[in-house]
A and B are shown apart, each in its own frame.
Chain A
Amino acid sequence: MSKVSLKIDGQTVQAEAGSTILQAAEGAGIHIPTLCYHPVLPAEGACRICVVEVAKQRLLLPACTYPVAEGMEVLTESPQVVEARRFVLELLLSDHPQDCLTCEANGDCELQDLAYRYQVKRSRFQGEVHRYPLDEANPFIARDMTKCILCRRCVGACRDIQAVDAIGLAHRGFDTKVAAAFDAPLQDSTCVFCGQCVAVCPVGALTEKNARFLGRSWEMTRVTTVCPYCGVGCLLDLNVKDNRIIKVTSNWEGPANRGATCVKGRFGYEFVHSPDRLTRPLIKANGAFVEASWEEALDLVARRLAEIKGQHGPDSLAVLASAKCTNEENYLLQKFARAVLGTNNVDHCARL
């Protein structure tokens, strides 16, 4: 690839020919605000927040789609640029419920961040506003279309990350909205509830239904771990508050999944806090389980295994390890079977 040289905010920058102004700026550590742009999706060029001033160009240009050129001179925060961004934000806010106090996205909202950064307190435009009911009829995704800014990231995620195409833009003009085919409820559409749309939504239009009102973004710790289901090994971020998993969010660095998940990975975590979890060792006495301490239970198991081995030999014992246990646990289980019990009778469900 050939390089071109340009100036961004007075700084000389080298960029790949064919790359966008946004990519060139990011490469040089210069942050241009975006809204519809998402790094893993094709640029939409829909929102006009990322406009920049380019010398000798009559109009402001969208940095997310406009390619760099040799000798280009770009200003990312000129008065004209700032004025345009404030104008765009005022238009967006003129039809946006400003209920940040109770919005799930509060503190994790790109529109809120931009309004703060450009000090847009209220919109000077008064006009018609959208009124849609909150859609919570499906099991996992809460959709508040009054908050949708039509950035189309969700449409791109459904199309380009998941290759599902369950949603698109319906209707025209002011009535434009993101919808499934025939504006059907998600549960009656081809939606597979992977939640990828929620993962990319920059505002509070799409949120995890079962996490609503359970925690604010700044109250949660994100712990990166591996999905407990199939063998793909998707990385997930568990969002934890007060020792509970509140929700699962995408980890865009995951080498196997790059932020994609399926319905189980994103929404299948509630078994962890199920009231059915075993919380005490149990010993069966006269056909019924009785709670016991670890001391009692382990001593009993050790004694019985040793007795049976003494009477019937090591191969009268067998161990089933697990494809759900960690490597370290499986290692210890086979070491236990072989070196302590003295048998190679150890297997797991690889064949099942």
Chain B
Amino acid sequence: MSGLGTAFGSGAMTNSIQDLGLARAFLVIGSNTTEQHPVIALQIKRAVRKGARLIVADPRAIELAELADVHLSHQPGTDLGLLNGLAQVILEEGLWDRDFVARRTENFDAFRASVAPYTPEFVERLTGVPAEKIRQAARLYATSRPAAIVYAMGITQHVAGHRNVLALANLAMLTGNVGMEGSGVNPLRGQNNVQGACDMGALPDVYTGYQKVVNPEARAKFEEAWGVPLPAECGLTVVEMTRAAAEGKVKAMYVVGENPMLSDPDLHHVREALESLDFLVVQDIFLTETAQLADVVLPGASFAEKDGTYTNTERRVQLIRKAVEPPGQARPDWWAVAELAERVQRDRGPVSFYYNSPAQIMEEIASLTPAYGGIRHERLGIQGLQWPCPTADHPGTPVLHRERFTRGLGLFAPVEFMPADELPDGEYPLILTTGRLLQHYHMGSMTRRVPGLNQLVPQELMEINPVDATRLGLPDGAPARVRSRRGEVLTRVRVTDRPRLGVVFMTFHFAEAAANLLTNPALDPTAKIPEFKACAVRVEPA
């Protein structure tokens, strides 16, 4: 998000799901689309059947790789080298869009100089991808128009995540693939309302609509609307919060619908941090691993038990509608927060949390958020509205940056390769990368309570290459102990040639084999995203 914000001025998917199907070529990197975003993968698969070209860059031979014209199987954590290499070939072979670069972008010369050293042969040494495949991929992407870049957490969950995104933006600008149907840079958001939670300012540095808390004008606007002075310093991100808790700086946490006890990197550390709090409140639909540590647990309503809106990955605000009553005394989160806010400020007073309905809350959001200015529940219907939607008669915006970038000119950013924070060595010789399966979701608190999904995939099966498995004496289905510098887990293995040599893959769906006991909490310095997608591990029979 921070990367696209820097390059284009708006950190969101540039295009729409349906228009992706118009692409003549796709570069899919760090996204196992058929399992993580299956319905978006349909657009890609159908377009490929009609002749669109497909480049897949992934350390695993994922399903899309089987359909790809070129599969670039790079070492986890070397995406940036690969992307700079693609840019180098496009420049070297004169395949770039001179007109677009001249009219719509700035800082091109610095960028051009920065990628010059990334020859295919050099990049082959960085990434393990044969030079000829890099050339082939660069030519396909640059010569098929329109071409769309699709990425997900495989790009962002690295210490170089912010740089990786800048490198993708560079490629799209270099080939003029921004601002039209079937093109763009398209981050696929992993959770149903992660886009909305960001848009709503559930972030430590921005209010709604990415208005910065350090900007005095923005702060003054919210101070006036809410009637109280507001803090001027940025707050802590989720991983920083647990660190601050462990250091005794954060004393109390109010956690709503999150399960850091499974979702965060280095879980031993997270448990210590949460246990050291003076007071922990958890509001959720289940007694999650995090809720078990709480002093007070508040029962929430599920998606089917309340009204409101979610914003999907293509910036579309859509209505959710109450279908059933919540069980027992469970209540919607908006009700609980409002009740709590009234009670905390009993002696302080002035901030209004009196709302009749989610529709009324949306009116307040619209009044404070330019991109949501025209959004009202009664306008949404079935089709919803894609932001920016600044006014009550605005039809919404399916494609961003059409005539100009949100920031004016697109900004080329020179980005130097940096390796993963933790590289394999003699003691921890394999690289662990993590992700999701089609049949399960995130921390499993929902899907593992669906018997049929559990029947399809009942347990963790760590993917390991046959060569590594044979060397370690691990037949298919064998139990294995996986260790990193932070912890160890027991799992069974699936011997498959999906992961490249030296790479193992685990999901984070299974609490009993929690991959995040192993993962590395090292953060990208700008985006503050942990490096879930590469850490060094040792695997042995158990």
Are A and B genuine complex partners?
Answer: yes
**A134 contacts the other chain (CB 8 A):** no
**B511 contacts the other chain (CB 8 A):** no
**B328 contacts the other chain (CB 8 A):** yes
A217 to B306, CA, bound (A): 24
A325 to B194, CA, bound (A): 9
The interface residues of chain B lying within 8 Å CB-to-CB of A301 are: 254, 281, 296, 298, 340, 343
Interface pair A163/B207, CB less than 8 Å apart: no
Closest A residue to B253 by CB, please name it. A318
Interface pair B312/A340, CB less than 8 Å apart: no
Interface pair B284/A278, CB less than 8 Å apart: yes
Interface pair A325/B333, CB less than 8 Å apart: yes
Instruction: Give which listed residue, B198, B314, B316, contacts A350 with CB less than 8 A.
Output: B198
**B527 contacts the other chain (CB 8 A):** yes
**B271 contacts the other chain (CB 8 A):** no
The interface residues of chain A lying within 8 Å CB-to-CB of B530 are: 351-352
A19 to B239, CA, bound (A): 58
Instruction: Give which listed residue, B250, B327, B449, contacts A316 with CB less than 8 A.
Output: B250
Closest chain-B Cβ to A306's Cβ sits at a distance in Å of 6
Instruction: Give which listed residue, B1, B245, B303, B328, contacts A279 with CB less than 8 A.
Output: B328
Closest B residue to A344 by CB, please name it. B235
Interface pair A302/B250, CB less than 8 Å apart: no
**A263 contacts the other chain (CB 8 A):** yes
A283-316 interface mask toward B, CB cutoff 8 Å, 1 = contact, 0 = none? 1100001000010011111101110100110111
A304 to B344, CA, bound (A): 9
Interface pair B338/A332, CB less than 8 Å apart: yes
**A111 contacts the other chain (CB 8 A):** no
Interface pair A326/B296, CB less than 8 Å apart: no
Interface pair B37/A320, CB less than 8 Å apart: no
B333-366 interface mask toward A, CB cutoff 8 Å, 1 = contact, 0 = none? 1101111110111111001010100100110110
**A231 contacts the other chain (CB 8 A):** yes
Instruction: Give which listed residue, A229, A325, A344, contacts B213 with CB less than 8 A.
Output: A344
Interface residues of A in 213-252 (CB under 8 A from B): 221, 223-235, 238, 240, 243-245, 251
**B189 contacts the other chain (CB 8 A):** yes
Closest chain-B Cβ to A154's Cβ sits at a distance in Å of 16
The interface residues of chain B lying within 8 Å CB-to-CB of A233 are: 192, 310-314, 316, 318, 384
A305 to B256, CA, bound (A): 15
B274-306 interface mask toward A, CB cutoff 8 Å, 1 = contact, 0 = none? 000011010011110001001111111011111
Interface pair A278/B311, CB less than 8 Å apart: no
Interface pair B193/A283, CB less than 8 Å apart: no
The interface residues of chain A lying within 8 Å CB-to-CB of B200 are: 321, 327, 330-331, 334
The segment out of A64-72, A84-92, A267-275 that lies at the interface is A267-275
Interface pair B344/A346, CB less than 8 Å apart: no
Instruction: Give which listed residue, B193, B304, B331, contacts A272 with CB less than 8 A.
Output: B304
The interface residues of chain A lying within 8 Å CB-to-CB of B188 are: 230-232
A162 to B237, CA, bound (A): 38
**B467 contacts the other chain (CB 8 A):** no
Contact A268 to B446, CB < 8 A, known contacts A245-B324, A274-B286, A350-B197: yes
Interface pair B238/A348, CB less than 8 Å apart: yes
Closest chain-A Cβ to B21's Cβ sits at a distance in Å of 11
The interface residues of chain B lying within 8 Å CB-to-CB of A106 are: none
Closest chain-A Cβ to B62's Cβ sits at a distance in Å of 14
Interface pair B329/A294, CB less than 8 Å apart: yes
A254 to B361, CA, bound (A): 25
A302 to B279, CA, bound (A): 11
Interface pair B296/A281, CB less than 8 Å apart: yes
Contact A305 to B344, CB < 8 A, known contacts A228-B302, A317-B250: yes
Interface pair A327/B196, CB less than 8 Å apart: yes
**A42 contacts the other chain (CB 8 A):** no
Contact A323 to B191, CB < 8 A, known contacts A193-B456, A277-B286, A329-B337: yes
Contact A240 to B323, CB < 8 A, known contacts A278-B299, A301-B296, A305-B344: yes
Contact A302 to B343, CB < 8 A, known contacts A324-B257, A328-B358: yes
The interface residues of chain A lying within 8 Å CB-to-CB of B203 are: 334, 346-348, 350
Contact A294 to B339, CB < 8 A, known contacts A240-B324, A278-B284: yes
The segment out of B133-141, B222-230, B468-476 that lies at the interface is B222-230
Interface residues of B in 228-252 (CB under 8 A from A): 228, 230-231, 233-239, 241, 244-245, 249-252
Closest B residue to A281 by CB, please name it. B298
Closest chain-A Cβ to B430's Cβ sits at a distance in Å of 23
A347 to B264, CA, bound (A): 13
Interface pair A345/B204, CB less than 8 Å apart: yes
Interface pair A330/B340, CB less than 8 Å apart: no
Candidate in B46, B252, B294, B300 with the most chain A CB atoms within 10 angstroms: B252
Interface pair B17/A304, CB less than 8 Å apart: no
Instruction: Give which listed residue, B233, B362, B455, contacts A328 with CB less than 8 A.
Output: B362
A265 to B446, CA, bound (A): 12
Closest chain-A Cβ to B34's Cβ sits at a distance in Å of 8
**B5 contacts the other chain (CB 8 A):** no
Candidate in A255, A272, A329 with the most chain B CB atoms within 10 angstroms: A329
Instruction: Give which listed residue, B156, B351, B441, contacts A340 with CB less than 8 A.
Output: B351
Closest chain-A Cβ to B58's Cβ sits at a distance in Å of 18
**A261 contacts the other chain (CB 8 A):** yes
**A11 contacts the other chain (CB 8 A):** no
Instruction: Give which listed residue, A160, A258, A326, A347, contacts B235 with CB less than 8 A.
Output: A347
Interface pair A333/B202, CB less than 8 Å apart: yes
The interface residues of chain A lying within 8 Å CB-to-CB of B384 are: 233, 255
A268 to B320, CA, bound (A): 17
A39 to B318, CA, bound (A): 24
Candidate in B294, B303, B347 with the most chain A CB atoms within 10 angstroms: B303
A349 to B46, CA, bound (A): 32
Instruction: Give which listed residue, A162, A280, A323, contacts B192 with CB less than 8 A.
Output: A323
A223 to B44, CA, bound (A): 29
Closest A residue to B310 by CB, please name it. A226
The interface residues of chain A lying within 8 Å CB-to-CB of B252 are: 304-305, 308, 316-318
Closest A residue to B527 by CB, please name it. A351
Interface pair B308/A327, CB less than 8 Å apart: yes
Interface pair B438/A192, CB less than 8 Å apart: yes
Q: What would 14 more interface pairs be, CB under 8 Å, given A279-B299, A332-B355?
A: A160-B46, A192-B38, A232-B37, A245-B304, A255-B382, A262-B39, A270-B452, A318-B253, A322-B202, A333-B337, A334-B203, A339-B228, A344-B234, A346-B204
Enumerate 7 A-B pairs (CB-CB under 8 Å) in ascending A order.
A223-B304, A281-B329, A301-B343, A318-B236, A338-B231, A351-B238, A352-B238
Interface residues of B (CB under 8 A from A): 1, 17-18, 36-40, 42, 45-46, 49, 156-157, 188-205, 207-208, 213, 222, 226-228, 230-231, 233-239, 241, 244-245, 249-258, 260, 263-264, 278-279, 281, 284-287, 291, 294-300, 302-306, 308-314, 316-325, 327-334, 336-341, 343-348, 351, 353, 355, 358, 361-362, 364-365, 382-384, 438-439, 441, 445-447, 449-453, 455-456, 527-530, 532
**A-B CB proximity, top 4 nearest:** A279-B328, A233-B312, A326-B308, A344-B235
Interface residues of A (CB under 8 A from B): 139-140, 160-163, 187, 192-194, 210, 221, 223-235, 238, 240, 243-245, 251, 253-258, 260-265, 267-274, 276-284, 289, 294, 297-302, 304-306, 308, 311-312, 314-352
